[in-house]
Copies of this chain bind each other. A is one copy, B any other.
């Protein structure tokens, strides 16, 4: 049984790597079995279909990236706005290495299969939305500290909307990184997003600036 669990994990890890390199449709069950070093029988023991593998890969991605973020340095920052800015610095820092290493499995799958595989699309969207939800408390607390309502009663934006927007920028940054062949253009967009967050809170009133 532990060997079987192992085969499942190996197939999911293989999916993360191969789908990020060549997309979901071009990734065959044979590709996945070869990379994971398992038989086709083992594949279909764990996943009734390639679609089921896609759903499980999105959930696996969500779980492994959640662990990465839970252990990231920004979690130690107390001030909510500073914590959000530290999160963005962390996202910028990990834009490094090969494109297939720093780009996003669930954004890649969602882009390609949203119409053909609604179950995969739903799992990918859930992965992005649940990560965005981890940012909401920081943004809400930073808004409250400035007398703003996180639900948008006092602004034309909300904590949840800004959290989603941050993921929009990151997803778009991955695409342009793919187009330009490297992460520089993506880092530049994270800088724009960081500047936006600073301006948004600076325009909202008291901010860690010259005045006490």
By a beta-carbon cutoff of 8 Å, the part of chain A in contact with chain B is: 21-26, 99-100, 107-108, 110-116, 121, 124-125, 128-129, 156-157, 161-162, 164-165, 167-176, 178-180, 185-186, 188-189, 191-192, 195-196, 199-200, 202-203
Q: Are A165 and B192 in contact, with the CB atoms below 8 A?
A: yes
Residues of B within 8 A of A174 (CB): 111
What would 27 A/B residue contacts be, using CB atoms closer than 8 Å? A22-B25, A22-B112, A22-B113, A22-B115, A24-B25, A25-B112, A26-B112, A26-B116, A99-B114, A108-B111, A108-B112, A111-B112, A111-B178, A128-B176, A129-B179, A157-B191, A164-B176, A167-B172, A168-B173, A168-B175, A168-B176, A168-B192, A169-B169, A170-B172, A172-B175, A196-B199, A199-B199
Task: Classify the interface of chain A: helix, strand, loop or mixed.
Answer: helix
